[in-house]
Structure 1
Amino acid sequence: MGILNLTPDSFSDGGKFNNGQSALKHAEKLLKEGAEIIDIGPQSTRPNADFLSSKEEIERIGSMISRIKKEFPEALISLDTFYAETVQFGFNEGIDMINDISGGQFDDKMFDTAAKTGLPYILMHVNPTYETMHDKIKFEDITLEVNRYFSKKTGELLEKGVKDIILDPGFGFGKTVEDQMKMISETEYLGFGKFPMLIGISRKSFIYKPLGKSPLEINEETQKLHRQVLEQGAIILRVHDVAETAVTLREFLRKK
C-alpha cells in the first residue's frame, strides 16, 4: 500500500503531492515501484495537524480518485478518512476500501456507511477521541489491550454487516516506543489470526527518534522491522518508500 498524501501538512511529505498533476505523477510512481493499493489521505493526522471537516476533505480530494481510476484502472484505491460523508463521496468516485484511523469513534455513522457500501474496512486501534489520539498511554499489556479493542470493534462491524475487515494495530498513535516494539515482536498474536493484518510503520517516530535520525533516514531499520512482521503473518505494508519495500517483499516471498 503506497501512501498518497493530498495534504500541505503531513509530517514527512506535506505539500509535495497536494495538486492534481503532482498527485497523479506520484500515484504512477508508486504503482510502477510495486504498490498494489494507493492510500489517498486528504487530512494529516500527525500531532498538531490542521483539523478539516468532511466538506474540506471532499474539496481537497476533488476529482483525484476518478482520475487515478481512469488513468490506472488496475490500481486499488483506499481512502484514509474518519468521516462517513467522505467515505460515501469516495464510494461514488470508485474507491475500493476504507482506511479509518478512528475505528468508527470519531463519526458514529461510519460503521453504517461502511456496511452500506459493502467495501473492505481497515480497523485501526486508537485512543477514543480526535483530541486524545496522540496521548501516550503506557498499557499494562499492549497486545491484550489491542486485542480487546479488536474483539469489541470487529463484533460491532460484523453485526452491522461489514464482512471484509482488515486490522491495523495503530503504530504511531498514542503508544510508547516500548509498546510499539512489543507489538512488532508480537504481531502474530494480534487479531487472533481471524483477519488480515496491515502494518503501517513507515517513517514513524518510534523508529527514528530513539536513533536520533530523521524520518527519511531509517529505511534500513524499517525494512528489518517489515521482515519481522511479514514473518508473523502481516499481509499489507502501508509505506512511503514502495521500491525499497518491494525488494523486502520479494526477498521474503523467495524464502517462503
Structure 2
Amino acid sequence: MRNHLSSNTHSLNCNGKLIDLNIPRIMGILNLTPDSFSDGGKFNNEKSALQHTEKLLKDGAEIIDIGPQSTRPNAEFLSSTEEIGRIGTIISQIKKKFPEALISLDTFYSETVRFGYNEGIDLINDISGGQYDDTMFDTAAETGLPYILMHVNPSYGTMHERIRFEDITMEINRYFSGKINELLQKGVKDIILDPGFGFGKTIEDQMKMIDEVEYLGFEKFPLLIGISRKSFIYKPLGKSPLDINEETQKLHMKVLKQGAKILRVHDVAEAKKTIQKFVKL
C-alpha cells in the first residue's frame, strides 16, 4: 500500500484557481432531484439548495456537486432541457453567495454542461464517460474545465445491469486507458478518474475495487471515490442507506491510504473527520 505522504501530487485548474490535492478534498452532494434514493426532494428548490450548500461548506466540503437528474435504478429520465429547467439560477446563486465554493455539475449532457459553464461551474462530473452524448468530450475540451471520467456500462438503459467481470480492476483500467487517450487528444487537460461504485457492478466486485484502489488508474490522474450511501455497503448488512456511517468511514480510510484524492459524500462532517485522522497518520 502506498504511503500517503510520498504518493504523487496532483492539482486541478478550476477556472484559473489551482486546487492542490496533496491533502484529499471533499465533494459534497447537492441533489436537485425529487427522486434520489436517500435525500430525494429535500433540496430541489432554491432556498433549501442554498441552505444545504452552506451546511456542506461549513462542514468541510470544497466542491459542491450539483445533480439535476437522479441516476439511481429506475429513476425518471430527464432531457437536457428539463435538467436546465431544474437547475434554474441555483448555480449563479451559489456562486454569488459562496464565491469560494467550487461547483461540479453532474450531467451526461453537453448542452447542460454549456449552460452550467455560462453560469460559472468549475468541474464537469459526467457519469457516462462521454458514452451517452457524442459531443461531451468536445464540449469538455471547449470549456477547459476538469473532467471527471467515470467507469459505467455503455448505455443509459444498461447503466445498472450487473456484469460480473473476470477482473474488475483490469476492466476499469482498460476502459480508463481508452477514454483518457480520447480526452487528451481532444485537449482535455485535467482528468479525474471515478471507478463508478454503484453502477452495474456486483457487491463482490465492488469490495475487490475497494481493496485494489491503489491499482486503479495510472497514478498520473487523481482518483475520486463515491461510495456514500451505496447499496453494496448497506444491503449485505441489512441496514438502510442512512445507517452505515461507521462502515463508510472505515472504507473511506482504506481508499485514502491507497491514494484517493477526492471523496464524494453526503455526510461531509464525518468524511472531514476521517481525512483529518488520515492526514495525521
TM-score w.r.t. the length of structure 2 is 0.91
Is 2:208 the partner of 1:173? no
Is 2:119 the partner of 1:84? no
TM-score w.r.t. the length of structure 1 is 0.99
- Residue 254 of structure 1 deviates from its aligned partner by 1.1
Q: Spell out the pairing of 1:211-230 with structure 2 (5 A cutoff).
A: 211-230=237-256
Is 2:45 the partner of 1:22? no
Q: Spell out the pairing of 1:1-256 with structure 2 (5 A cutoff).
A: 1-255=27-281
Counterpart secondary structure, 1:191: coil
For 2:174 and 2:37, how far apart are their aligned partners in 1?
Answer: 30
For 2:159 and 2:178, how far apart are their aligned partners in 1?
Answer: 18
For 2:280 and 2:82, how far apart are their aligned partners in 1?
Answer: 44
User: Please, which runs of 5 or more residues in structure 1 have no aligned partner?
Assistant: none
Number of paired residues? 255
- Residue 213 of structure 1 deviates from its aligned partner by 0.1
For 2:215 and 2:277, how far apart are their aligned partners in 1?
Answer: 24
- Residue 248 of structure 1 deviates from its aligned partner by 0.4
Q: Which has the higher helix share?
A: 1
Q: Deviations over 1:28-59 (max 9, x none)?
A: 00000000000000000000000000000000
Counterpart secondary structure, 1:68: helix
Counterpart secondary structure, 1:193: coil
User: Please, which runs of 5 or more residues in structure 2 have no aligned partner?
Assistant: 1-26
Q: Deviations over 1:148-176 (max 9, x none)?
A: 00000000000000010000000000000
Counterpart secondary structure, 1:216: helix
- Residue 85 of structure 1 deviates from its aligned partner by 0.1
Amino acid at match of 1:104: G
For 1:172 and 1:146, how far apart are their aligned partners in 2?
Answer: 14
For 1:69 and 1:185, how far apart are their aligned partners in 2?
Answer: 37
Q: Please report the RMSD computed on the Cα atoms of aligned residues, expressed in angstroms.
A: 0.3
